[in-house]
Amino acid sequence: MSTPVDLDDLLHAFEWVSGAEQLAFDAEAYINRSTGEIFWVGEGIDEDLPEDIEDGCLYIAVPHKREFALGSSLVFDFVEEQMPRSYDVVRDYFHRRGAYARFKDLLA
């Protein structure tokens, strides 16, 4: 049985967890598997957490964006599989600033 979670709330939690290092503090968020409620952890949050928040059977931690390995290796895997003739061009993009923007333009 799946539990609905509001997409906007989930995206906000993901951004909270992933953006914390830019704000120089740790941030976490957990989703109650049975209710879909999101619990926030971090500086400026005065929310009481359930005592069993670390129980992976009851709660799931919202991942940090790094956990998805969405870096350049994913780009090169994609290019190698979907557009191999552009591999050298994309590799050159990643030797300079603005690589992701240029890659995005190439895809468009």
Band (pLDDT 50/70/90 cuts) for residue 102 is: very high
Q: Measured between alpha carbons, how far is 70 from 43 in angstroms, rounded to an integer?
A: 27
- Structural contact between residues 81 and 75, judged by C-beta atoms closer than 8 angstroms: no
User: Using one digit for the tens of pLDDT, what is the confidence trace for 47-88?
Assistant: 889 999 999 999 999 998 888 877 888 899 999 999 999 999
- What's this model's pTM, rounded to 2 decimal places? 0.65
Residues 16 and 40: beta-carbon distance below 8 Å: yes
Residue entry with tokens 């895809």: 107
Contact 21, 29 (CB under 8 A): no
Give the amino acid at 24.
A
Q: What SS3 class is residue 54?
A: coil
